Structure 1
Amino acid sequence: MTFTDGVWQMWRTTAQSTQRFQARVSANGDSITGEWQDSGDGGATWTRDFTLEYRR
């Protein structure tokens, strides 16, 4: 997991699939907007699993 310049990233790799989460925290810190993505080919192509938005 990383958090740099307001961008939050997490990832998970297994033999069956690769998943990643990428989100941006708003400048005032009141919201996070991002999405989970899945790859069945080791990260060459990505498909959106779902989007999310958190608001304070």
Structure 2
Amino acid sequence: MGWQIDPIGLRTVCNQLYGLPKASIYVDRDSNGKGSNKRYKKTNFSWYQNVIATNGEQL
């Protein structure tokens, strides 16, 4: 159809279809760039790491 792909919309749809998180790491920083900039693993980090390691065979 010649339509352009909206990358944000594509990412949103993929996240909804596959239920995969955008990231498994939280960075302590607000939208103004203030914070400690420390990185923390989210609760789904180990699960997502396993999904990547098994190429999606173990969900």
Using structure 1 for the length normalisation, give the TM-score. 0.28
Is the strand fraction higher in 1 or 2?
A: 1
Which has the larger Rg? Answer: 2
